C-alpha cells in the first residue's frame, strides 16, 4: 500500500498520549519522533526571536511558516497534516500563536484590527483543515526576559533558570514601548481578543489553549502587566467567554514555578474539562528563583500528575515542552526529549494498567 493508504496511527485518540513540539517537518525529524513511540505533533511557528536561545528549534527546514502576513491556507494546512500522517503521526495542533499576531491586540495599538482578522482567518482555516488546537499566550515574548543564567543540573546537563535578583532593571520599560500599561488596560484588551476569537473557534471546531505567563507570579515586568501568573487569572480568563472551544495549555512547569500543588491544579481545571493539552515539565525551586530540570527530578511527582490526569478523564496530549541539554544534544534537545518521551510513555502505561485492574 502507498503511504496515503496506510492508517496514520493507531486509534488512540480517546486516551492520554505523548506528543512533541517541532518546527521542522523534515523526514528525519518525523521518523525520529515516530521511532520513539510518540504519536502527536504540535507545529511550532517561525518567530525564533521570541524564544530564549535555549528553547529555539533552529531547524526550520520543511516547515509551515505562521505569522503576521503569513497565514497558511486550508490547502497548505491539509498538505501539512497529511505529510505528518504519512509519517505515522497526528497533527494535534499549533503549539502557539506567534507574538506578531497578538502583540498589537495585547497593547491596544494601531493594527489590532488587522491582527484580529488574521487570527480569525487562521482559526477558520485550521478548522477547515481538521487541525483542532491553537495554543496561545498573553505574554510579550521577546520584550522582557524569560530566563536568566543557565545552570548545570544532573550529570552536568545544562538547564534554563530564572533568578529575579539577576535582572538589572526589572521595572524598566522596554525600548519598543512608549508607555506603561495597567492591569485594567490588559484585561480590557484581552476581553476584546477572546470576545472576537472564541466564537470563531466554536464555529470552526477549534480549541484555543491559553498558556501561563513564564516566569509567573510577578504582577508586572518591564512595566507590562502579567495577567496569567496564578490560578485565579486563569479562572477569570475562562469566565469571560465560557466555551468548550476555550481551555488551557496546562503548563505543569509554570504551576510548579508558582509553588502550586500540581495535582490540585489538574483536578481544578480537569474537573471542568478545561485542559486542552499539557506541557509536562518541571523545575527545582519556585519563584523568585528556580531552574528547569529532568522530568523525574523536579518539585512534583510525575506519577501523581499522570494519575491525576487519568482520574479527571483527560484524553489528550502531554508534551515535554522544555528539556535540559544533555551530552551531544542538538538545539532541539533530541536526546533529552527522547529520554522524557520514554519516561512519560512508561508512566502512562503504568497508570493505564492500574486503571484497567481496578
pLDDT at site 144: 83
Domain with residue 305: its CATH number is 3.20.20.150
pLDDT at site 7: 42
Instruction: Indicate whether 4 belongs to any domain.
Output: no
Question: Under a CB-based contact definition with an 8 Å cutoff, are residues 197 and 154 in contact?
Answer: no
Higher per-residue pLDDT: 153 or 145: 153
pLDDT at site 4: 46
Structural domains of the chain, count: 1
User: How many of the other CB atoms lie within 10 Å of CB of 339?
Assistant: 20
- At 96-116, the pLDDT tens digits run 999 999 999 999 999 999 999
Instruction: Indicate whether 347 belongs to any domain.
Output: yes
Instruction: Indicate whether 10 belongs to any domain.
Output: no
Sheet with 289-293: list strands edge to edge.
161-163, 289-293, 282-286
pTM assigned to the model: 0.94
Q: Once rounded to an integer, what is the mean pLDDT over residues 121-145?
A: 93
* H or E, element range at 183: helix 183-204
What is the average pLDDT score of the chain?
A: 92
pLDDT at site 218: 92
Say whether pLDDT at 80 is over 70: yes
Listed residue (19, 43, 306, 328) closest to 336, CA to CA: 328
Instruction: Indicate whether 1 belongs to any domain.
Output: no
Say whether pLDDT at 251 is over 50: yes
Instruction: Indicate whether 7 belongs to any domain.
Output: no
Instruction: Indicate whether 182 belongs to any domain.
Output: yes
The span from the CA of 21 to the CA of 135, in Å, is 11
Q: Once rounded to an integer, what is the mean pLDDT over residues 204-221?
A: 95
- Percent of the residues in the chain that have a pLDDT greater than 90, as a whole number: 82
Say whether pLDDT at 3 is over 50: no
Residue 9 confidence class, pLDDT cut points 50, 70, 90: low
Say whether pLDDT at 2 is over 80: no
Q: Once rounded to an integer, what is the mean pLDDT over residues 168-193?
A: 93
- Domain of 182? 17-357
Instruction: Indicate whether 12 belongs to any domain.
Output: no
Residue 61 confidence class, pLDDT cut points 50, 70, 90: confident
Q: Tell me the DSSP string of 14-78.
A: TS-EEEEEES---HHHHHHHHHTT--EEEE--S-GGGS-GGG-----TT----BTTBPPPHHHHH
- At 323-338, the pLDDT tens digits run 999 999 999 999 999 9
Q: Once rounded to an integer, what is the mean pLDDT over residues 38-66?
A: 75
Instruction: Indicate whether 3 belongs to any domain.
Output: no
* H or E, element range at 207: strand 207-211
Question: Under a CB-based contact definition with an 8 Å cutoff, are residues 247 and 271 in contact?
Answer: no
Amino acid at each position: 500500500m502507498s503511504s496515503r493508504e496506510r492508517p496514520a496511527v493507531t486509534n488512540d485518540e480517546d486516551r492520554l498520549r505523548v506528543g512533541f513540539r517541532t518546527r521542522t517537518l523534515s523526514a528525519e525529524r518525523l521518523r525520529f519522533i515516530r521511532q520513539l513511540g510518540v504519536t502527536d505533533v504540535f507545529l511550532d511557528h517561525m518567530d525564533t526571536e521570541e524564544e530564549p536561545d535555549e528553547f529555539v528549534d533552529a531547524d526550520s527546514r520543511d516547515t509551515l511558516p505562521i505569522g503576521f502576513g503569513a497565514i497558511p491556507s486550508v490547502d497548505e494546512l491539509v498538505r501539512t497534516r497529511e505529510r505528518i500522517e504519512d509519517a505515522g503521526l497526528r497533527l494535534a495542533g499549533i503549539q502557539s500563536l506567534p507574538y506578531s499576531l497578538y502583540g498589537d491586540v495585547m497593547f491596544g495599538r494601531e493594527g489590532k484590527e488587522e491582527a484580529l482578522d488574521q487570527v480569525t482567518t487562521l482559526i477558520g482555516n485550521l478548522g477547515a483543515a481538521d487541525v483542532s488546537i491553537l495554543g496561545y499566550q498573553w505574554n510579550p515574548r521577546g520584550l522582557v526576559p524569560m530566563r536568566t543564567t543557565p545552570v548545570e543540573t544532573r550529570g552536568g546537563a545544562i538547564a534554563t533558570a530564572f533568578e529575579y535578583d539577576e535582572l538589572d532593571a526589572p521595572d524598566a520599560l522596554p525600548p519598543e514601548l512608549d508607555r506603561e500599561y495597567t492591569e485594567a488596560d490588559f484585561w480590557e484588551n484581552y476581553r476584546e481578543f477572546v470576545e472576537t476569537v472564541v466564537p470563531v473557534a466554536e464555529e470552526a471546531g477549534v480549541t484555543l489553549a491559553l498558556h501561563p505567563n513564564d516566569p509567573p507570579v510577578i504582577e508586572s515586568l518591564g512595566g507590562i502587566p502579567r495577567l496569567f501568573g496564578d490560578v485565579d487569572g486563569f479562572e477569570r480568563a475562562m469566565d469571560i467567554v465560557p466555551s468548550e472551544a476555550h481551555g488551557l495549555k496546562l503548563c505543569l512547569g509554570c504551576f510548579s514555578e508558582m509553588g502550586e500543588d500540581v495535582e490540585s491544579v489538574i483536578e481544578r481545571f480537569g474537573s471542568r474539562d478545561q485542559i486542552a493539552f499539557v506541557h509536562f515539565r518541571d523545575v527545582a525551586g519556585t519563584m523568585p528563583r528556580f531552574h528547569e530540570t529532568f522530568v523525574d527530578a523536579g518539585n512534583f511527582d510525575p506519577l501523581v500528575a499522570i494519575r491525576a490526569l487519568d482520574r479527571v478523564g483527560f484524553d489528550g496530549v502531554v508534551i515535554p515542552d522544555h528539556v535540559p541539554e544533555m551530552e551531544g544534544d542538538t538545539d532541539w534537545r533530541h536526546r533529552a526529549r527522547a529520554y522524557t518521551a520514554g519516561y512519560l510513555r512508561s508512566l502512562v502505561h503504568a497508570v493505564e494498567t492500574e486503571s484497567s485492574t481496578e
